[in-house]
Amino acid sequence: MGRQQHTCEIDQLLKTFDALIQLSQASFDYQLLLADIWVKAFSELTRELASYQAKGEAIENLRQFLEVWSSIFDREFAQKFRSEDAQAIQGKFLRVGMKFWLEQQQLLEGVRKKLEVPICNQVDENKV
């Protein structure tokens, strides 16, 4: 095995590892976005329940509670996900996720070739 082949294999491994790091960072940013939405939605729910109490009203059953929660949850998520910042975070998460998937597939292809493991198409062709 030549030195150049080792270099290519190491380069592919490093590219895949870099893509994994980028995916982890994008995932963290996306999780922060979701956490912010959950905190705002829960805070708004708390305010809404307090306003019921201030009016002397009560939530009568689980269904009514879920309707209030669902309304607040939907509004907060829709409002946040319409923002340019949230769309940028989602877009980055998707882009780096796809980049990682492609790098991972290339790395796995190299491993398959090295181990002489047939891919699905080759197995199907041998059955015919």
| Calpha distance 96→98 (Å, rounded) | 5
Q: Which residues contact 25 (CB under 8 A, 6 or more apart)?
A: 96
Q: Please give the average per-residue pLDDT across 109-115, as a whole number.
A: 83
For residue 118, is pLDDT > 90?
no
| Calpha distance 17→12 (Å, rounded) | 9
Of the candidates 17, 104, 19, the residue with the CA atom closest to the CA atom of residue 112? 104
* Residue that wins the pLDDT comparison between 92 and 107: 92
pTM summary value: 0.73
| Calpha distance 47→80 (Å, rounded) | 19
Q: Please give the average per-residue pLDDT across 15-40, as a whole number.
A: 95
Largest CA distance in the chain: 81
Of the candidates 89, 86, 84, 94, the residue with the CA atom closest to the CA atom of residue 40? 86
- Per the structure, how many domains does the chain have? 1
Give the domain range for residue 31. 3-127
Mean pLDDT, the chain, whole residue set: 88
